[in-house]
């Protein structure tokens, strides 16, 4: 029989934190009075993580180990775990104890009592994060909000999702999914649970600047094709400037103030620059449409249809 809850944990070189994590997670889950499984996704670790996992598995029957062949990144590791999770609910949680395992029981309670599909873990206190992490995170969420991405401020990847949500997420054909932005676009009813972001219990962050940049780029380009439009606007602006400069160059020539050849050179350079940017912008518009087609996000999700009441369930109350 399928477990009630799946706990998906991505892990990359977490040998130093793993014993602490298991020690803290197990009592929480054993106290739930619900069946559960823990899906540990070893994201191509090069340290003792796989060996440790094998050892814990022998003493903890609900522990499952999924090993990826190569380090594929946090988001990919979570996707791998979700794809294999069998629970009616799935929680994704970091292995470094920055997301307190005790919050899982609250998520489960909120999810069941309020009848929502998604329960976001929202960081109410980030004081344990470094100054750099806080500033970059704030900038990130501000930019994403401007680009119209739905989603809670300060909600990372600590969240609980219903089976329907997990299936919908996995059905998205995007390759570089940014889950914290993709889940809200699915539009399932949701609730939030606040928690204090703790310090990493042991070991070092597996998110170097390069991976943070990768995630932000994926987030921006995944949420919007607005950056592609930039060329169009620069082109239009350039065209205006070219007109201005051209008019000035002609005027200077007529007045006899200019060096021979200057006017024609300026007009040609600025004119061509603007034309190229406009052409790029035009290309961008088409690339943007292709991008949307490739992403193939559904245009809408139906929550309720009176004709299919039984099939879709949940009547608005
Ligand atoms: N992680 C992963 N693959 C990676 C990088 C990170 O599975 O390539 C896991 C890591 O083991 C941890 C979670 O993702 O469980 C979050 O990573 P980390 O705590 O290093 O990120 P930070 O909290 O510093 O942003
Ligand atoms: Mg961490």
CA 35–ligand 1 middle distance (angstroms): 27
Q: Which atom of ligand 1 is nearest to the CA of 12?
A: 11
With bands split at pLDDT 50, 70 and 90, how would you rate the model's confidence at 317?
Answer: very low
Q: Are 117 and 189 in contact (CB under 8 A)?
A: yes
> Atom of ligand 1 at shortest distance to CA of 204?
20
- Pick from 207, 209, 215 the residue to mutate for probing ligand 1's pocket: most ligand atoms within 8 Å of its CB: 207
Output the CA 255–ligand 2 centroid distance in Å: 68
Span 79-91, pLDDT tens digits: 999 999 999 999 9
CB of 90 within 6 A of ligand 1: the answer is no
Render pLDDT for 238-281 as a digit per residue (tens, 0 to 9): 888 888 888 888 888 888 877 778 778 888 888 888 888 888 88
CB under 5 Å of ion ligand 2: residues: 96, 98
Per the rule left: phi > 0, alpha: psi between -120 and 50, beta: everything else, 199 is beta
- Portion of the chain with pLDDT greater than 70, in percent: 97
pLDDT of residue 280: 86
Residue whose Cα lies nearest atom 24 of ligand 1: it is: 205
Task: Choose the most confident range, by mean pLDDT, from 69-83, 166-180, 241-255, 297-311.
Answer: 69-83
Q: In the predicted model, is pLDDT for residue 312 greater than 60?
A: no
Residue 126 confidence (pLDDT)? 79
Residue nearest to atom 16 of ligand 1 (CA): 94
ipTM of the predicted assembly exceeds 0.95: yes
């Amino acid at each position: 029989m399928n477990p009630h809850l799946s706990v998906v944990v991505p892990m990359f070189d977490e040998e130093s934190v793993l014993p602490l994590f298991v020690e803290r997670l197990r009592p929480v889950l054993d106290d739930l009075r619900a069946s559960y499984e823990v899906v540990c996704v070893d994201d191509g670790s090069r340290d003792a993580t796989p060996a440790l996992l094998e050892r814990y598995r022998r003493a903890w029957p609900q522990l499952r180990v999924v090993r990826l062949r190569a380090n594929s990144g946090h988001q990919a590791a979570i996707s791998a775990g979700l794809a294999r999770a069998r629970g009616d609910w799935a929680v994704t949680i970091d292995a470094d104890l920055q997301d307190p395992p005790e919050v899982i029981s609250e998520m489960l309670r909120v999810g069941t009592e309020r009848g929502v599909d998604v329960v976001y873990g929202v960081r109410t206190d980030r004081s344990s994060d470094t100054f750099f992490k806080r500033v970059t995170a704030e900038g990130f969420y501000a930019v994403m909000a401007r680009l119209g991405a739905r989603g809670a401020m300060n909600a990372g990847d600590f969240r609980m999702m219903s089976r329907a949500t997990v299936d919908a997420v996995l059905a998205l054909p995007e390759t570089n999914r940014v889950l914290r932005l993709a889940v809200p676009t699915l539009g399932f009813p949701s609730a939030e649970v606040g928690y204090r972001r703790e310090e990493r219990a042991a070991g070092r962050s597996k998110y170097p600047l390069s991976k943070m940049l990768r995630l932000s780029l994926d987030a921006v380009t995944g949420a919007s094709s607005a950056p592609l439009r930039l060329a169009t606007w620069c082109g239009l602006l350039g065209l205006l400037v070219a007109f201005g400069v051209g008019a000035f160059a002609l005027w200077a020539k007529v007045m006899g103030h200019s060096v021979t050849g200057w006017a024609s050179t300026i007009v040609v350079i600025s004119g061509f620059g603007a034309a190229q940017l406009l052409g790029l912008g035009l290309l961008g518009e088409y690339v943007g449409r292709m991008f949307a087609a490739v992403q193939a996000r559904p245009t809408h999700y139906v929550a309720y249809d009176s004709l299919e009441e039984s099939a879709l369930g949940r009547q608005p109350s």
